[in-house]
Amino acid sequence: MHELAVTCSIVRHVVRAARGRTVRAITLEIGQLCGVRPEGVAFCFPEIARGTSAAAARLDIRRIAGRGYCESCHSEVPIAERTAPCPCGSSRVHTVAGEELTLKSIAFEYIP
């Protein structure tokens, strides 16, 4: 389950960025084709964040659908896997979205 290692890395980056401030929310973008299960990250997060400045943070995971560009019909099409053919039948499809794993934002507690 590499979601555990991914979650550890995310929490490590967030805590480093927090520099002692309390983290209120973390937004991730996880692409359908990146190989990381959003449910696995959400499951691991509370345990990994326990005892850190991110322990009480809300985890917002945005799923990014897979999309590809077909060189044959010149259209962008939804794809469920990297090797999926275009509906036109062509296998000349290049992934344009869905491989993301992005730490999009971190919200910190405001300290006046």
Domain ranges of the chain: 2-66+98-108
Distance CA 99, CA 66 (A): 7
Residue 82's CB is within 10 A of a number of other CB atoms, namely 14
Average pLDDT, the chain: 94
Residues 6 or more apart whose Cβ sits within 8 Å of residue 2 = 35, 36
* Interval 57-105: pLDDT, tens: 999 999 999 999 999 999 999 999 988 899 999 999 999 999 999 999 9
Q: Would the pLDDT of 107 be above 70?
A: yes
- Start-to-end CA distance of the chain, whole Å, equals 41
Distance of CA 77 to the CA centre of its chain: 21
pLDDT mean over 10-34: 96
What backbone torsions phi and psi does residue 47 show, to the nearest 5 degrees?
Answer: -70, -40
Query: What is the CATH architecture assignment of 2-66+98-108?
Result: 2-Layer Sandwich (3.30)
Longest Cα separation, the chain = 59
Q: Which of 35, 50, 52, 25 is nearest to 101 (CA)?
A: 35
Q: Which of 56, 41, 55, 46 is nearest to 103 (CA)?
A: 41
Q: Would the pLDDT of 112 be above 80?
A: no
